[in-house]
Amino acid sequence: SPFPGVRFSSSIGVDEVKALAALMTFKCAVRTSVCLTRSFPDVPFGGATTGVRIDPRKYSDHELEKITRHFTVEMAKKGFIGPGIDVLAPDVSTGEREMSWIADTYTHTLGYQDINSQACVTGKPISQGGVHGRHSATGRGVLHGIENYLTNTDYMDCIGLSPGFPGKTFVLQGFGKVGLYTMKYLHDYGACCICVGDTDGAIYNPGGIDPKELKDYEQGHSTIVGFPKAEPYDGSILEVPCDILIPAAIEKQLTRENARRVQAKIIAEADNGPTTPAAHEIFLQRNILVIPDVYVNAGGVTVSFFEWLKNLNHVSYGRLSFQYEWESSYYLLQSVQHSLEQCFGKARGEIPILPSPVTPGPCDCKCLQPWRHTGLTALLSLWQIMTTVARYNLGLDQRTAAYLCALERIFTVYNEASFT
């Protein structure tokens, strides 16, 4: 199974792990079925999830490292993790640091004879085989997922919104990695964040909250509470009037009890499973567009897939081909230069070929941005979902359409492999 999330949470249990593993299965099937398998037809799409039942805030860094390394050894002994088994990825309360501990432990224990041992985990630091943009991948995926719907005039007419981000307000529940980058990208595209909530409390400013200023404050104070450019908010932020509601915290936040009080036109599920089935039905009745988690928050698993391939290939993407592409572009522009000079002459001298400020250099390590952004937009996945909506006349029910796409893909593979 690819990229099961590792979460440290005091509430994690067997049922939660099973549910998250099922969601990961559907998420990978939706994303890979028409987006990634065009280039990599053998990508697996099964899902898994794992975790440790602790409250990481009650442990020192040294204690967390010991717990993480012990967890890795026990998982490896039972054959649950490895480059070709379950490739772990960060989730709630885990990040680059924990992934680095896991990779180091696995490499120096059961994986010491495996050249691909670093591929046992994704979300690693760049120096250990990670990829640029993994931090922000899920947030960027949320941005593009929302954008693909906001630019669709049919859906916007159906819910009574004008197309595009400018002028739209949004409310964000959760200010972790996903919430932070989602807020940043939507702000850059012209949307206005009016309310942010986290475990410590919530803040509200109808004029807008700047993501960079909030991030700087949170890093200095370890909380968003007390942010000077917003007021404290005591009510449920899920019920704040806005255009877009983005739950980016934990599961089962939108329920039968509060669904009728939600005052948003669009709900983008940046977290796994924030909406219960009962709430989903209420949103359909109220003509609220819910962009399901299996589509909109799959940016992280998409980039994890590319990190995994990079580790297996032992070559960074773009390193071998960038110089060729750079020289090809240069010779193409040189041909244009010669053509212009032949047409207009050289009365004013040669027409120079100068790179623009945004042209990446040969040593620009962010030359991988284009394929990351292409993967995260997932237009082909969206096309498949919308086609399924039209085929079964599902209206605004994007979740059922996404599940149908995933199940059809899974059944096809099982059927062709004679498992059915």
388 assigned binding-site residue: no
Residues 306 and 374 grouped into a single domain: yes
Residues 157 and 259 grouped into a single domain: yes
What whole-number distance in Å separates Cα of residue 218 and Cα of residue 355? 39
Residues 136 and 101 grouped into a single domain: no
Residues 118 and 137 grouped into a single domain: no
Q: Of 130, 153, 180, which residue is a domain's last?
A: 130
How long a stretch of residues is the chain?
420
- The gap between the terminal CA atoms of the chain, to the nearest Å, is 19
CB atoms inside a 10 Å sphere around CB 251: 17
Residues 106 and 141 grouped into a single domain: no
Q: DSSP letter for 35, please.
A: I
What whole-number distance in Å separates Cα of residue 263 and Cα of residue 240? 6
Q: Of 95, 130, 165, which residue is a domain's last?
A: 130
Per the domain annotation, does 337 fall within a domain?
Answer: no
324's enclosing H/E stretch is: helix 322-344
Strand 201-204 to strand 192-198: parallel, antiparallel, or no bridges (unpaired)?
antiparallel
Helices marked H in 89-226: 96-107, 137-150, 153-159, 177-188, 211-221
What whole-number distance in Å separates Cα of residue 320 and Cα of residue 368? 12
Per the domain annotation, does 44 fall within a domain?
Answer: yes
Residues 238 and 263 grouped into a single domain: yes
| pLDDT recorded at residue 371 | 46
Residues 137 and 251 grouped into a single domain: yes
For the record, the structure tokens of 133 come out as: 């943009």
Residue 90: φ, ψ to 5°: -70, 150
| pLDDT recorded at residue 38 | 34
The domain that holds 284 is classified in CATH as 3.40.50.720
| pLDDT recorded at residue 331 | 78
C-alpha triplet 277, 278, 284: angle, nearest 5°: 90
| pLDDT recorded at residue 227 | 95
Residues 309 and 373 grouped into a single domain: yes
Residues 274 and 371 grouped into a single domain: yes
Residues 159 and 75 grouped into a single domain: no
Q: Which domain holds residue 122?
A: 2-130
Per the domain annotation, does 396 fall within a domain?
Answer: yes
**Residues with Cβ within 8 Å of residue 348, at least 6 apart in sequence:** none
Residues 169 and 123 grouped into a single domain: no
pTM, full prediction: 0.81
Residues 262 and 208 grouped into a single domain: yes
Place of tokens 């968003």: 224
Per the domain annotation, does 352 fall within a domain?
Answer: no
Per the domain annotation, does 238 fall within a domain?
Answer: yes
> Residue 391: exposed, middle, or buried by beta-carbon count in 10 A (0-12, 13-18, 19+)?
exposed
Per the domain annotation, does 351 fall within a domain?
Answer: no
Nearest alpha carbon to residue 168 among 40, 356, 154, 149: 149
50 assigned binding-site residue: no
Per the domain annotation, does 166 fall within a domain?
Answer: yes
Per the domain annotation, does 340 fall within a domain?
Answer: no
304 assigned binding-site residue: yes
Chain CA centroid to CA 81, Å: 22
Mean pLDDT, consecutive 10-residue segments, the chain of 420 residues?
78 85 83 42 57 91 94 89 86 90 92 88 89 84 92 94 94 92 95 94 95 94 93 93 94 94 96 93 96 88 84 75 71 80 71 60 48 54 90 94 90 78
Q: Residue type at 358?
A: V
| pLDDT recorded at residue 46 | 55
| pLDDT recorded at residue 190 | 95
The domain that holds 117 is classified in CATH as 3.40.50.10860
